[in-house]
Chain A
Amino acid sequence: MSIDVTKLQATRDGFGQAMIELGNENPQVVALCADLRDSLRLADFSKNFPDRYIECGVAEQNMMSVGAGLALGGKIPFIASFAVFNPGRNLDQLRVATYSQLNIKIVGGYAGFGNGGDGATHQAFEDLAIMSALPGMTVLAPADAEQAKILTKLAAKHIGPTYLRLGRLDLPTLSDITEKEQSIKIGKAQLLREGSDLSIFTTGAMAFAALSASAKLNQLGLSVEIINFHTLKPFDCQAAIKSAQKTQAVLVAAEHDQRSGLASIVSQTLAESMGDPLVSPIAFASLGIDNRFGESGKNQDLLDKFELNEFGIIKQIKLLLTKKKNLI
Chain B
Amino acid sequence: MPATYHQLSKAAWQIRQDILTMIYRAGSGHPGGSLGMTDVFTALYLGKILRHDPKRPEWDKRDYLLVSNGHISPVIYATLAKAGYFDRSELSTFRQVSSRFQGHPHYVPQLSERVPGVENTSGPLGQGLSQAAGLALALRLDGKKNLVYCLMSDGEQQEGQIWEAYQFIAHHRLNQLIGVIDYNHIQISGTTKDVLDLGQLKAKLMSFGLRVLEMNAHDFASIFETFEKAKQPNQNPTIILAKSIPGKGVSFMEGDYRWHGKVPSNSEYNQALKELQIKEKTFVD
Contact = CB atoms under 8 A, between A and B. Distances in A.
Contacts of B93: none
Interface string A265-281: 00000000000000000
A12 interface: no
B92 interface: no
A65 interface: yes
Interface residues of B, number: 34
Contact of A69 (B109, B136, B172): B136
Given A70-B137, A71-B134, A73-B135, A65 B107 contact: no
Contact of B130 (A51, A65, A75, A77): A65
B168 A62 contact: yes
B47 interface: no
A69 to B, nearest CB: 2
Secondary structure class of chain B's binding surface, majority of residues:
helix
Interface residues of A, number: 31
A71 B126 CA distance: 18
B124 A72 contact: no
A75 B133 contact: no
Contacts of B165: 62, 65-66
Interface in B26-40: none
B53 interface: no
Contact of B138 (A63, A75, A96, A100): A75
A7 B85 CA distance: 59
A64 B161 CA distance: 10
Contact of B134 (A68, A92, A95): A68
B139 to A, nearest CB: 6
Contacts of B141: 30, 51-52, 73, 75
Given A59-B168, A66-B168, A100 B121 contact: yes
A234 interface: no
B226 to A, nearest CB: 24
B160 interface: yes
Contacts of A52: 141
A126 B164 CA distance: 26
A212 to B, nearest CB: 44
A51 B168 CA distance: 15
Contacts of A117: none
14 contacts: A57-B167, A57-B171, A59-B161, A62-B133, A66-B130, A66-B165, A69-B136, A69-B138, A71-B134, A77-B134, A95-B124, A96-B124, A99-B121, A101-B108
Q: Please list the 8 inter-chain residue pairs (A to B) with the smallest Cβ-Cβ separation, ordered nearest first.
A: A69-B134, A73-B138, A65-B130, A62-B164, A59-B164, A66-B134, A69-B135, A69-B131
